[in-house]
């Protein structure tokens, strides 16, 4: 028992579930529901489209009652004497058998005796001469007797009125089990007039039962109509052509297996149908009826051929759909059936086909069940692709070389489902493992690191990589003063902090940023790690502007709340510093606890820039690398050339005030040009020119964006006038505070 439990654990739930699914799919294949059959026959249709039957011989000629014939000889139905002329001429040209895809269900209304009875104003002598003239149907029957003609009959869904008339047959025999229960059945039969049927050499059903989608793929060679087994038109033509006295239906308990005639044994499915290998519509099969009647068809075009008489005329056309043609005349389908049988090119779905499909599905599915947990989904995907090519290739070879229909879709579809189930169950198992990791380490490590460890436990090591990052520091201005108002309400302060940090965090994350840490009211974040972000400078600037918009909305809401509650309102303002440069980013800390963080000189500079946002009175301060990357997309203005505390290298710093719409506004363009002039005068020691630029800036800067910067430069200029800078002064201002 313990051994069985261990083996079951080794086998795994995913494999067990996949085996059950495979067995269930086999059961579905045996049941063969409609959708599965539809998929199978559509696959066989695609084979025929890719490789339609090539017409190398044309043993069948179609005499077409086409529009040209009707225009020349008059509308249909023609007088039976004209049809008799057509039959006689075809017989003289050497037709082997003439088959009609037409039913003569009523007596000819153009016969002389009918005219004698129905025409008005005739004298007695004329009527008598008409009555003594040969009947048109008799003339046609006589033409039938002089050659070999097979007339078509049609199965109908209701019993006909002439079902009591004896059906002339030439015998349908059975070999083995009674085949009639397996044959398609029509309750009624639309027949020709008895005079013509008695003169014909054979009678066959022209009814072709399309499949559910209306496409002709399989055609019954024998059917039941009005209770009797009857051959199809094609089968009867073959019987007459081979001088067979009867046809034999071979059947067993599984159904019909073949139809036998002298010189032919036609394999069929259990319902007596053959799979037709169709060619494209071939105009060379057709000759016009008027050309036959007027002697324009050479004898070698008809001699030794089976002739089918049908119509393609508009209004008379009986159209069918085949796998290779959307519309063909129904008579051409009968011609293609005869070509298939006479050319031994019919398709067949052998009795072992279903068993072969199931065996292949079991073998391939079993291999996938065994190998997926061992090699993983990618390797098995490649293996599955190879197997799919082999299965599809084998099916294609059997179709093209052996004319066998072996369905590749069931093994492929079943294997695909097995693969999906295995991958899905393995995914569920991995997710459960990740949840266990999160549960075990979530209270000790940061959530970001826990998530990364859940996906890649092998990353549980110290170390990092050098990447170009855009780093952000943000801080609340006057947070100490704000906190004092909550000294008796610490919970209120926590609520305010959450209310503050939530929209700021969302603004960063929504712009693809990574939150490094919270430091009280401050946030550190960066872009371009751990995921690559080619536009990290622009995303960081967009996030900073979004954060300012969030603060404005928060202050509007807080002001309304304060006024409603009668409490003092203290606005919350933040300063942001952004800088771009190479940093080390990765898991940093100790062996006991570490976080995914960034370190480097660029990080330190970003922190210093955030502090200077208050000094210069601008909300967002950029380092030079960040500014150069975004200057064509954002409203950026250079504000100073400084050396921050703790650094020896100076840095040109900028302020960003808005996006591209502000950048291209005339007012901002003018303000930026004046600021450029101010800095040029200042760095060239032209104090009067600098002060003149400051006056113009204040006149232009209606929103006071550079008001504090102008004040700073005024104070510096006043100090430099009292104590001018040295000869080596390069315009850099060294900060003494962070």
- Tens digits of per-residue pLDDT, 415-464? 888 777 777 777 776 676 666 555 544 433 345 545 655 666 555 444 57
pLDDT-derived band at 570 (thresholds 50, 70, 90) equals confident
What confidence score (pLDDT) does residue 204 get? Answer: 93
Q: Which two tokens stand for residue 719?
A: 């100090």
Strands 188-190 and 522-527: unpaired
Residue 130, classified by CB atoms within 10 Å of its CB into exposed (0-12), middle (13-18) or buried (19+), is middle
More confident residue, 116 or 580: 580
pLDDT at 161 over 60: no
How far apart are alpha carbons 470 and 627 in whole angstroms?
11
pLDDT at 313 over 90: no
Q: How far is CA 695 from CA 690, 702, 717, in A?
A: 9, 12, 14
Least confident of 31-45, 231-245, 478-492, 667-681: 478-492
pLDDT-derived band at 97 (thresholds 50, 70, 90) equals very high
How far apart are alpha carbons 537 and 579 in whole angstroms?
9
What confidence score (pLDDT) does residue 597 get? Answer: 85
pLDDT at 165 over 50: no
Q: pLDDT over 70 for what percent of the chain? A: 87
What confidence score (pLDDT) does residue 373 get? Answer: 63
| Residue 661 and residue 669 in contact, taking contact as beta carbons nearer than 8 Å | no
Q: How far is CA 628 from CA 485, 583, 659, in A?
A: 42, 18, 15
- Mean pLDDT, to the nearest integer, of 17-41? 80
Phi, psi of 401 (to 5 degrees): -95, -35
What confidence score (pLDDT) does residue 201 get? Answer: 92
Return the closest-CA partner of residue 558 out of 576, 542, 573.
Answer: 573
pLDDT at 132 over 70: no
pLDDT at 166 over 60: no
How far apart are alpha carbons 14 and 3 in whole angstroms?
19
Beta bridge partners of 306: 60, 97
What confidence score (pLDDT) does residue 444 get? Answer: 34
pLDDT-derived band at 3 (thresholds 50, 70, 90) equals very low
Q: How far is CA 506 from CA 81, 498, 525, in A?
A: 92, 12, 12
What confidence score (pLDDT) does residue 306 get? Answer: 95
The kind and range of the H/E element at 642 are strand 635-643
Average pLDDT of the chain, as a whole number: 85
What confidence score (pLDDT) does residue 164 get? Answer: 45
Question: Which of the residue ranges 14-18, 218-222, 353-357, 460-464 has the most confident prediction, judged by mean pLDDT?
Answer: 218-222
- Mean pLDDT, to the nearest integer, of 226-252? 90
Least confident of 6-15, 96-105, 491-500, 657-666: 6-15
- Coil, strand, or helix at residue 644? coil
More confident residue, 288 or 264: 288
- Tens digits of per-residue pLDDT, 651-679? 999 999 999 999 999 999 999 999 999 99
pLDDT at 543 over 90: yes
pLDDT at 4 over 50: no
pLDDT-derived band at 125 (thresholds 50, 70, 90) equals low
More confident residue, 280 or 460: 280
In terms of residues, how long is the chain? 738
pLDDT at 178 over 70: yes
HSE on the CB side for 160, CA within 13 Å?
19
DSSP for 127-146, written as a single string:
HHHHHHSPPHHHHHHHHHHT
How far apart are alpha carbons 418 and 362 in whole angstroms?
11
How far apart are alpha carbons 518 and 507 in whole angstroms?
15
Q: How far is CA 97 from CA 137, 206, 238, in A?
A: 20, 16, 9
pLDDT-derived band at 607 (thresholds 50, 70, 90) equals very high
- Tens digits of per-residue pLDDT, 389-401? 888 888 899 888 8
- Tens digits of per-residue pLDDT, 680-736? 999 999 999 999 999 999 999 989 999 999 999 999 999 999 999 988 898 898 887
What confidence score (pLDDT) does residue 11 get? Answer: 53
What confidence score (pLDDT) does residue 440 get? Answer: 41
How far apart are alpha carbons 632 and 539 in whole angstroms?
14
Return the closest-CA partner of residue 225 out of 169, 145, 294.
Answer: 169
What confidence score (pLDDT) does residue 33 get? Answer: 82
Where do the H-state alpha helices sit in 511-600? 536-565
What confidence score (pLDDT) does residue 116 get? Answer: 60
Q: Is the entire prediction scored with pTM above 0.85? A: no
pLDDT-derived band at 114 (thresholds 50, 70, 90) equals low
Indicate left, alpha or beta for 565 from its phi (over 0: left) and psi (-120 to 50: alpha). alpha
Q: Which two tokens stand for residue 495?
A: 């609520």
pLDDT-derived band at 121 (thresholds 50, 70, 90) equals low
The beta-strand segments (E) located in 262-301 are 264-267, 273-275, 286-288
pLDDT at 525 over 70: yes
What confidence score (pLDDT) does residue 569 get? Answer: 85
How far apart are alpha carbons 272 and 247 in whole angstroms?
13
- Mean pLDDT, to the nearest integer, of 30-48? 84
- Mean pLDDT, to the nearest integer, of 107-134? 68
- Tens digits of per-residue pLDDT, 316-370? 767 889 999 998 888 999 999 999 998 888 888 877 788 888 888 888 877 777 7
What confidence score (pLDDT) does residue 450 get? Answer: 56
């Amino acid at each position: 028992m313990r051994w069985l439990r261990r083996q079951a654990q080794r086998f795994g739930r995913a494999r067990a579930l996949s085996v059950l699914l495979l067995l269930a799919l086999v059961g579905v294949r045996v049941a063969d529901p409609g959708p599965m059959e539809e998929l199978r026959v559509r696959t066989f249709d695609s084979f025929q489209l890719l490789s339609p039957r090539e017409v190398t011989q044309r043993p069948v000629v179609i005499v077409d009652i086409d529009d040209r014939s009707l225009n020349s000889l008059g509308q249909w139905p023609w007088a039976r004497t004209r049809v008799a002329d057509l039959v006689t001429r075809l017989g003289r040209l050497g037709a082997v058998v003439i088959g009609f895809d037409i039913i003569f269900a009523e007596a000819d209304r153009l016969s002389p005796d009918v005219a004698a009875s129905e025409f008005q104003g005739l004298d007695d002598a004329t009527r008598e001469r008409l009555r003594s003239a040969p009947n048109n149907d008799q003339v046609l029957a006589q033409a039938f007797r002089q050659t070999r003609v097979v007339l078509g009959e049609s199965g109908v869904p209701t019993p006909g009125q002439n079902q009591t008339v004896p059906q002339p047959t030439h015998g349908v025999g059975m070999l083995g089990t009674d085949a009639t229960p397996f044959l398609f059945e029509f309750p009624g039969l639309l027949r020709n007039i008895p005079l013509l049927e008695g003169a014909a050499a054979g009678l066959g059903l022209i009814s072709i039962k399309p499949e559910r989608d209306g496409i002709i793929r399989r055609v019954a060679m024998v059917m039941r109509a009005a209770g009797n087994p009857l051959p199809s038109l094609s089968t009867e033509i073959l019987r007459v052509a081979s001088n067979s006295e009867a046809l034999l239906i071979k059947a067993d308990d599984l159904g019909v297996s073949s139809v036998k005639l002298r010189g032919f044994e036609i394999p069929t499915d259990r319902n007596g149908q053959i799979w037709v290998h169709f060619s494209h519509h071939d105009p060379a099969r057709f000759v016009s009826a008027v050309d036959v009647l007027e002697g324009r068809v050479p004898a070698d075009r008809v001699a030794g051929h089976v002739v089918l008489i049908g119509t393609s005329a508009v209004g008379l056309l009986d159209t069918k759909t085949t796998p290779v043609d959307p519309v063909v005349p129904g008579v051409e389908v009968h011609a293609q059936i005869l070509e298939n049988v006479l050319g031994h090119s019919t398709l067949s779905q052998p009795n072992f086909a279903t068993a072969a499909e199931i065996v292949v599905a079991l073998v391939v599915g079993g291999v996938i069940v065994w190998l997926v947990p061992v090699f993983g989904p990618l390797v098995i995907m490649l293996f599955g692709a190879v197997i799919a090519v082999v299965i599809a290739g084998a099916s294609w070879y059997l179709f093209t070389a052996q004319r066998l229909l072996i369905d590749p879709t069931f093994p492929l579809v079943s294997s695909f489902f097995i693969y999906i189930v295995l991958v899905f169950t393995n995914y569920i198992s991995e997710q459960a493992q990740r949840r266990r990791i999160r549960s075990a380490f979530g209270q000790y490590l940061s959530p970001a690191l826990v998530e990364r460890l859940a996906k890649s436990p092998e990353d549980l090591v110290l170390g990092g990589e050098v990447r170009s990052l855009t780093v952000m520091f943000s801080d609340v201005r006057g947070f100490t003063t704000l906190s004092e108002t909550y000294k008796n309400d610490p919970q209120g302060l926590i609520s305010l902090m959450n209310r503050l940090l939530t929209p700021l965090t969302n603004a960063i994350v929504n712009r693809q940023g990574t939150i490094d840490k919270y430091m009280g009211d401050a946030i550190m974040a960066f872009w371009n790690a751990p995921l690559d972000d080619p536009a990290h400078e622009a995303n960081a600037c967009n996030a900073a502007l979004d954060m300012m918009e969030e603060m404005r909305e928060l202050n509007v809401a807080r002001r309304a709340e304060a006024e409603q509650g009668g409490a003092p309102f203290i606005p919350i303002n933040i300063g942001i510093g952004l800088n771009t440069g190479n940093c080390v980013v990765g898991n940093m800390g100790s062996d006991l606890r570490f976080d995914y963080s960034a370190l480097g000189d660029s990080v330190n500079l970003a922190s210093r820039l955030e502090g200077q946002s208050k000094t210069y009175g601008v909300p967002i301060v950029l380092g030079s690398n960040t500014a150069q990357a975004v200057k064509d997309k954002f409203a950026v203005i250079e504000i100073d050339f400084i050396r921050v505390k703790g650094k020896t290298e100076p840095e040109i710093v900028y302020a960003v005030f808005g996006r591209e719409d502000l950048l291209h506004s005339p007012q901002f363009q003018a303000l930026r040009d004046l600021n450029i002039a101010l800095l040029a005068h200042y760095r060239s020691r032209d104090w009067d020119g600098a002060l003149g630029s400051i006056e113009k800036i204040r006149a232009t800067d209606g929103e006071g964006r550079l008001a504090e910067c102008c004040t700073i430069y005024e104070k510096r200029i006043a100090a430099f006038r009292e104590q001018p800078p040295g000869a080596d002064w390069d315009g850099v201002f060294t900060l003494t505070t962070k």
